[in-house]
């Protein structure tokens, strides 16, 4: 009798546990847990991390409310509510690999979208592959991810950094701006070195007479550029090129502009649209600006772009969306497109990682910055159009506007499949399709 009692209790407990688990599983089937990784602290938070998250969150909130326009009007991802697990990217690549494992194994996220630092992207991609879990890189620039590796579960929803500098060199030609010599100031790490190498290579193809006169390499987050500015003033190059970003770029402009470095000289800031609003009229007129894609002011009017600009303005009054906002949004829409494609193929069930990854290969979708294609890296790496323009302070609107904008088609500034971007630059952009 006693034994029967215990057995009955065990049975009841097992049934209750089973019901709970089934309930949780049923709940899981209605929710898509998305890990989002961006710098929320540290020096890159202000320029890239927070705006990227703001852009992604704006879209995620609207998707959950079912208020995005067609073709993104289905609630969440194919009817699954999106639940975000937000992760701070600060702390280095080793920490990010740990965070990635935690996100998948402990927190059971269905996919991870994120990463701004190229070092973090390079570190988490093989880890995701090992875990056989889907990671969509949304911001980092290094071309090495898919040029040197093959991944099944890793994708990048934005173009890599190669196109940024090809577009800058093409802009000079398109605008008839002849360059005799260049002074370069770039941070001494992968981003700065790769950017300068790509720009120098592209310029050598398009304006072979242009010479690199001086190359300066301040360290990341140096903040003080007095001596570098003196060197550039002394060398008097016809063009000053820089891939500085965030607080470093702002400090450089604050220190260089009063000393006249940017007067009567061409200046290129290859990835700088995000400093225009903070700097305001301290940014001199005529500076050539890039935004790593047709982002921000470069984005052409389209239903999805107009919706996105209005949604950001509503969520963050006074903020003009710039490149990280756009890439955050672009990444969310990439995942949504893949999930819904996979659901259409499996009869509307929540897709598995395998189904999502298969659906995403080579996919195309419309983002606020234009039409995006996963054309490189065997259908894992995006290409997109790019643009450049020049700064002009608008006193009435109290903002720096971009004028003389030139757009470049994705195939004009991105290499075709099967060739590394550095090789494509070196052999003179064979097969480029320019408008």
The residues that touch another protein, with contacts defined as CB under 8 A, are 40-46, 49-50, 188, 214-219, 221-224, 226-228, 230-231, 233-234, 246-247, 250-251, 254-255, 258-260, 278, 282
Closer to another protein by CB, 107 or 188: give it: 188
Nearest partner of 371 among 336, 410, 324, 342, judged by Cα: 410
What's the min distance (Å) between Cβ of 331 and another protein? 20
Closer to another protein by CB, 243 or 337: give it: 243
Q: Rg of the Cα trace of the chain?
A: 24
Enumerate the β-bridge partners of residue 214.
183
Say what the alpha-carbon torsion angle 317, 322, 328, 330 is, to the nearest 10 degrees: 110
Query: What is residue 270's three-state secondary structure?
Result: coil
Buried b (16+ CB within 10 A) or exposed e, 338-372: bbbbbbeeeeeebbebebbbebbeebebbbbbbeb
Closer to another protein by CB, 258 or 431: give it: 258
What's the min distance (Å) between Cβ of 54 and another protein? 11
What's the min distance (Å) between Cβ of 294 and another protein? 25
- Asked whether the beta carbons of 100 and 124 are under 8 A apart, the reply is yes
Closer to another protein by CB, 54 or 147: give it: 54
For helices 50-65 and 323-345, the axis angle rounded to 10 degrees is 40
What's the min distance (Å) between Cβ of 143 and another protein? 23
- Asked whether the beta carbons of 153 and 353 are under 8 A apart, the reply is yes
Closer to another protein by CB, 217 or 307: give it: 217
N-to-C CA span, the chain: 87
Helix (H) or strand (E) holding 374: strand 370-376
Residue found by looking up tokens 């061409």 in the block? 266
What's the min distance (Å) between Cβ of 228 and another protein? 6
What's the min distance (Å) between Cβ of 261 and another protein? 9
How far apart CA 304 and CA 367 sit, in angstroms, is 7
Closer to another protein by CB, 45 or 135: give it: 45
Q: Cis omega before residue 71 (within 30°)?
A: yes
Closer to another protein by CB, 63 or 249: give it: 249
What's the min distance (Å) between Cβ of 80 and another protein? 31
What's the min distance (Å) between Cβ of 42 and another protein? 5
**Among positive and negative, which fits the CA dihedral 383, 385, 389, 394?**
negative
Closer to another protein by CB, 33 or 50: give it: 50
What's the min distance (Å) between Cβ of 302 and another protein? 29
Sheet with 381-383, edge to edge strand ranges? 81-88, 31-38, 111-114, 134-137, 154-156, 381-383, 370-376, 364-367
What are the backbone angles phi and psi of residue 63, rounded to the nearest 5°? -65, -45
Q: Which residues contact 1 (CB under 8 A, 6 or more apart)?
A: none
What's the min distance (Å) between Cβ of 41 and another protein? 6
Alpha-carbon distance values, 384 to 133, 149, 239, 422 (Å): 25, 21, 27, 18
Closer to another protein by CB, 35 or 49: give it: 49
Closer to another protein by CB, 251 or 399: give it: 251
């Amino acid at each position: 009798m006693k034994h029967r009692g215990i057995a009955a209790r065990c049975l009841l407990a097992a049934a209750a546990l089973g019901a709970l688990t089934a309930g949780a599983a049923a709940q899981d089937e209605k929710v898509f847990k998305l890990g989002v990784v961006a710098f929320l602290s540290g020096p890159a938070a202000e320029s890239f991390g927070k705006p990227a998250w703001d852009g992604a969150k704006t879209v995620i909130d609207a998707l959950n409310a079912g208020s995005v326009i067609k073709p993104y009007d289905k609630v969440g991802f194919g009817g699954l509510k999106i639940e975000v697990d937000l992760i701070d990217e600060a702390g280095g690549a080793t920490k990010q690999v740990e965070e990635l494992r935690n996100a998948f194994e402990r927190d059971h996220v269905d996919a991870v979208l994120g990463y701004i630092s190229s070092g973090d992207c390079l570190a988490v991609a093989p880890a995701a592959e090992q875990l056989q879990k889907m990671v969509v890189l949304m911001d980092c620039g290094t071309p090495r991810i898919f040029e040197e590796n093959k991944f099944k579960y890793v994708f990048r929803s934005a173009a890599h950094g190669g196109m940024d500098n090809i577009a800058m060199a093409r802009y000079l030609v398109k605008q008839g701006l002849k360059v005799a010599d260049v002074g370069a100031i770039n941070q001494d790490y992968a981003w700065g070195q790769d950017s300068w190498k790509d720009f120098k290579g592209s310029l050598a193809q398009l304006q072979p007479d242009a010479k690199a006169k001086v190359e300066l390499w301040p360290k990341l987050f140096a903040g003080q550029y007095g001596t570098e500015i003196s060197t550039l003033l002394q060398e008097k190059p016809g063009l000053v090129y820089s891939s500085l970003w965030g607080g470093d770029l702002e400090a450089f402009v604050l220190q260089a502009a009063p000393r006249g470095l940017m007067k009567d000289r061409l200046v290129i800031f290859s990835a700088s649209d995000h400093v225009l609003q903070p700097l305001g009229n301290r940014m001199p007129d005529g500076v050539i600006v890039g935004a790593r894609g047709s982002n921000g002011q470069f984005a052409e009017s389209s239903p999805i772009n107009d919706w996105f600009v209005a949604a950001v303005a509503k969520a963050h009054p006074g903020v003009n969306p710039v490149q990280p906002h756009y890439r955050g949004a672009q990444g969310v829409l990439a995942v949504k497109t893949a999930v819904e494609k996979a659901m259409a193929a499996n009869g509307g069930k929540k897709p598995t990682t395998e189904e999502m990854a298969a659906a995403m290969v080579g996919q195309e979708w419309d983002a606020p910055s234009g039409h995006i294609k996963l054309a490189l890296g065997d259908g894992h790496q995006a290409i997109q159009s790019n643009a450049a323009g020049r700064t002009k302070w608008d006193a009435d609107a109290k903002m720096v506007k971009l004028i003389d904008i030139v757009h470049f088609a994705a195939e004009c500034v991105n290499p075709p499949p099967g060739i590394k971007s550095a090789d494509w630059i070196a052999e003179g952009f064979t097969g480029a399709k320019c408008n």
